[in-house]
Structures are given as C-alpha cells and as structure tokens.
Amino acid sequence: MERGRNLWWVVAVSGVVTFLPLLALAVKSFTIDGHLTLEAYRRVLDTPQQWRLFERSAILASLVTAVTLPAGLLLGMVLGKSDLPLRRLFTLLLLIPLLVPPYIWAVGWSDLFAPTGLFAHLFGQEAAKVASGYLFGLYGCVFILSCVYLPIPLILTMALLRSVPRSFEEAGRMVAGWPAVLRHITLPLVAPALLIAGVLVFLLAFGELTVPNYLRYDLYVVESFTHFSAFYDFSAATASAVPIVVVALALLLLEERVRLTFFSEPLPPTSDIPMALVPLGRYRWPVAFSVALWVGLTAVVPTSALAMEAGGWANYVEAIQRAGSSIGHTLLFAAAGATLLSVLGFFTGYLVRRRALPLWRIVDATTLFLFALPGSVVGIALVALWNTPLGGFVYSTPLIILLGYAAKYLVLPSRITAAQLALIPPSMEEAAQLVGASWGQRILYIVAPLAWRGLLAGWLVAYLFCMRDTAITMTLYPPGADTLSVRIFTLMANGSPELIAALCMVTVVLTLVPLLFLGTLLRGVVR
C-alpha cells in the first residue's frame, strides 16, 4: 500500500518524461494541418516498396544482433571471468566504437579501402576494390554496426557474471571442468541479461540511419527520415515510425515470454567472496592472441586510422579550440543526464520488476517505444510539448536536452535495474518490512545497497549513450549549448577531415577518462 503510494510519483514523472512525448507523437501522426486523418498512414504504409524496405531493415538488424550477442557473450566471459592478460585494456578498447558517431567509422573504413588508402598500399588495388565492394552494402553495414553495438551485450554479460553465486559454479566444478560448468551452469544464469541486450541491439540497428545511408544499403528507416528531412512531413515521418514501434512491442512480448518460461527463478544473493576466475592454462596466450586480433580488427585499426587522420598536435589544439564550450557541455550534460536517468531508471526498474502498480506494463512499454523511435522524431515531439509560453522556461535551457535523453534512453537504466533486482529475492525487502522499515528505508538500506552494481552499470551505460547522442541533441539544443557530437556533425560539412578526426579522438578520450577514473574508484571501494 505504502509502496504503491510512493511509486505513483515515479509513474507521474516517467509519464511526463516518456508518455507525454509519445502521446504528442501519436497525435501528430493523426493530424495534417489541424485535421484528424489517416492520410499520413495511408500514404506511407500503402506501398509495397515500404514493406520491402522494412524487410531489409529487419534483415540488417537481425544479422547485427546475431553477430553481437554470441560475440558479446563469448568476449564477456573471456574478459570478465578468465585470467586473460590485458583484459581491462581489451575491454576499454572494445568500448571505443560505441563512443563515436557510427558514420565516422563508415567513412574511416571506406578511406582505408580507397584506391589511395592503406589497404591498397599493402595488398594492391584489386584487393582494395574487392574489400570495398563488400564494405558498401549489407556486409559492411553488419560489420560496422556489430563493432559499434558489441559493447552492449559485452558489458551486460560482464556485469551479470558477478551475480552468479560462487557456490553454484563450485558445485559444478566438483563433477566437471570449467568448460562444462560455464556452458551448463554459468551461461544459462546470465542468459536473461542477453535477452534485453538483444532487444536493444536489434532496435538500435533497426533505427540506424547514417551508416546504411553512407554504405548505400537502402532501408526502411531512411524512408521515415526522408519524409522528415527532405519534405518536412512530420505526420508522415511519425506514421512511418509506427511499424518500428510495433516491432518493439513484439520484441518486448517475446522477451517477456522467454524470460518467464526459462528464467523465472531468482538467484540467492552473492557473498562478498570475489568471483572465481577461470584459469586458461596453456590456452592463455592463444586466447589472448585471438582476442587481440579481434580487438585489433574491430577497434584498434579504425581508431588508429582516425588518429592518423587527425595528424599532429596542432590539429588537436585546433580541434579543442573549435570545440570550445561544447567539451564542457558534453561532459556536463552526459553526467547530469546519466544521473537523472539512473535515479529515474532505478525507480521505474523497481516498478517494472516488482510489478508494484498495475501500470507497470505501460511504463515499461513506453520507455522501449521511445528508444525504438528515431531520435529526431522524439525530439520534435518534445519541441511540440515544451515550446509553449509555459514550458519555455525548460525549452530555452539545456534542461530540454536532459528531458530528451530521459525520454530516449530511460529504458536502459530501467531494464538494467530490473535485471539486477531479479537477483534480489523479494524476501529481502519483506524481512525488512516485517521489522517495521518504511518503503523509503527499505529502498535506502536494503534494495539500493544490494542493487548497487545495477545502479552503477545503469549510470555508465546512460553516460555512454548521452555522450554519443546526436539526433536528440541536434533537435533540441538551445543556441550556444551544443555538444561535441553535434559540433562534429555541424563542422563535417567542409570542415577538414583532420579536424573532424581530431574532434572524434577528443570525444573518445573524454568518454574513456571518466570511465577509467570511476573504475579505479570502484576497485578501491569494493576491495
């Protein structure tokens, strides 16, 4: 009762942040020039071409998911649970593709395979031409987007590995070696995390525009974008975004069904004994070599190409000068956005996991729909909502950007919290309730401390996504409050390639340094 009362404010806040923009979008899609009509839907959905493109988008998204999930799981196990040398460095390097606008990687790889590129120098023009042929098209899109989104299942796997009770693995080790224990015991217990990682990767890949556009792979989302960008047809843009929402809903239902069928048992809480690392023994260096090869190909090569393009210190100095206040904005908005998101996400995740109110499904679904929708579409909905005489107080400040982040990315910390809470039996809270603790006290003293890993993971993931966001920021930033990713895009038109590359490298450093710092702090606190 008391819990329900307290959670209504969570519903109210998340309603303002997510449900209202979604409603505004829906209303816009049903109106043209102030009249209610289905014309936008009819125009957009009534062509066979649309469905062909939709199928292509689904194929791309499925392939990217099919590559990143097993790769992320495998790498997550190796980097998170073995005694592999340099595993922290490898993890950090694998994060890099996620930090920079994916378009930059597409351009980078294209330059690498150009007739005058490095590949041609090393392997000849013919080989470069063949490689380029594969890059421009479906395979190139799958490769680049897989590299970009791999960190999502990777990080989630590593976080969830720490939540498997050590005794479960030890009981297995009494009868079997590590490979069988990992396969039959550890893996099935971390699999639920991968479900949501799969859904998120699918939606991100489905909504990705700039890479397929550059690599000339025509997609459904390009259509929605074209309506908007070239013809300013917001009703049509929203109408054509609806099938994406339907896909998101289907994935949500599928994920829930699979989770309930196969993974409904909560795990006992873990003790403070650190997680057992799997000794690789004589496979240590071959595995290290394989991982290094993978990391080299997917992260080091494109980052080095970017660094080489950036050139000498003078370019970095110029980049920082050109970036100006956007550096401070980027860090501030990302940190503030991540904090807002992790706090709100913690409570919405709690609401969803504990099903504390009947509305929990709507809250969960709304956050996922907004994640699925193109950022610019969500942004315009927020303009419609907040650009009013009353809302101007918010709209004319960078706070509108935070609301944009919250609308688009709330699903990430929310689901991470929900996954973490799945590992905490309700009996923990119930025990506190029975001794008289209020809901607030239970959250503060029982739930939050037990779920601290999820909170931190939620903050880090939210921080990453806020840092790299372009579409939302582009649509909403007040004059003079642009971020680095926006500045990269605005300077890209006729800005020198060296400057753009240097700005991208600055973005990478700005994202990684706080993460490294937090990681060091965390190790000190935990041990």
- Residues in 186-225 that interact with another protein by CB under 8 A: 188-189, 210, 213-214, 216, 218, 222-223, 225
Q: Does 475 bind another protein (CB under 8 A)?
A: yes
User: Stretches 330-338, 408-416, 427-435, 510-518: which one binds another protein (CB under 8 A)?
Assistant: 330-338
Q: Do the Cβ atoms of 200 and 152 come closer than 8 Å?
A: yes
The residue type of 193 is: A
Q: Report d(CA 291, CA 322) in Å as an integer.
A: 37
Hey, what are 173's tokens? Answer: 């080790």
Q: Name residues contacting another protein, limited to 366-395 (CB under 8 A).
A: 376, 380, 383-384, 387-389, 392-393, 395
User: Stretches 64-72, 144-152, 179-187, 285-293: which one binds another protein (CB under 8 A)?
Assistant: 179-187
Q: Report d(CA 418, CA 412) in Å as an integer.
A: 10
Maximum Cα–Cα distance across the chain: 75
Site string for another protein, 15-34 (x = CB under 8 A): --------------------
Min. distance of Cβ 270 from another protein in angstroms? 11
Burial status of residue 255 (CB atoms within 10 A of its CB: 0-12, 13-18, 19 or more): middle
Min. distance of Cβ 135 from another protein in angstroms? 13
Secondary structure in 3-state letters for 98-148: HHCCHHHHHHHHHHHCCCCCHHHHHHCHHHHHHHHHHHCCHHHHHHHHHHH
Using the rule CB under 8 A, which residue among 1, 36, 122, 175 binds another protein?
A: 175
Using the rule CB under 8 A, which residue among 17, 69, 402, 455 binds another protein?
A: 402
Using the rule CB under 8 A, which residue among 9, 123, 134, 231 binds another protein?
A: 231
Using the rule CB under 8 A, which residue among 35, 493, 524, 525 binds another protein?
A: 493
Indicate the residue among 299 and 481 with the shorter CB distance to another protein. Answer: 481
Indicate the residue among 222 and 292 with the shorter CB distance to another protein. Answer: 222
Going from the C-alpha of 261 to that of each of 179, 258, 357, 372, 414, the distances in angstroms are: 25, 5, 23, 25, 22
Indicate the residue among 90 and 346 with the shorter CB distance to another protein. Answer: 346
How many CB atoms sit inside 10 A of residue 361's CB? 13
Secondary structure in 3-state letters for 306-330: HHHHHCCHHHHHHHHHHHCHHHHHH
Indicate the residue among 290 and 441 with the shorter CB distance to another protein. Answer: 441
Q: Report d(CA 377, CA 224) in Å as an integer.
A: 9
Q: Report d(CA 372, CA 387) in Å as an integer.
A: 24
Q: Does 6 bind another protein (CB under 8 A)?
A: no
How many CB atoms sit inside 10 A of residue 2's CB? 11
Using the rule CB under 8 A, which residue among 173, 259, 284, 354 binds another protein?
A: 173
Q: Name residues contacting another protein, limited to 242-271 (CB under 8 A).
A: 262-263, 265-268
Q: Name residues contacting another protein, limited to 120-159 (CB under 8 A).
A: none
Min. distance of Cβ 53 from another protein in angstroms? 7
Using the rule CB under 8 A, which residue among 119, 202, 217, 234 binds another protein?
A: 234
Helix, strand or coil, per DSSP, at residue 35: strand
Min. distance of Cβ 93 from another protein in angstroms? 26
Q: Report d(CA 311, CA 294) in Å as an integer.
A: 25
Q: Name residues contacting another protein, limited to 268-307 (CB under 8 A).
A: 268
Indicate the residue among 178 and 206 with the shorter CB distance to another protein. Answer: 178
Q: What's the half-sphere exposure (Cβ side, CA atoms, 13 Å) at 92?
A: 15
Q: Does 520 bind another protein (CB under 8 A)?
A: no
Indicate the residue among 152 and 222 with the shorter CB distance to another protein. Answer: 222
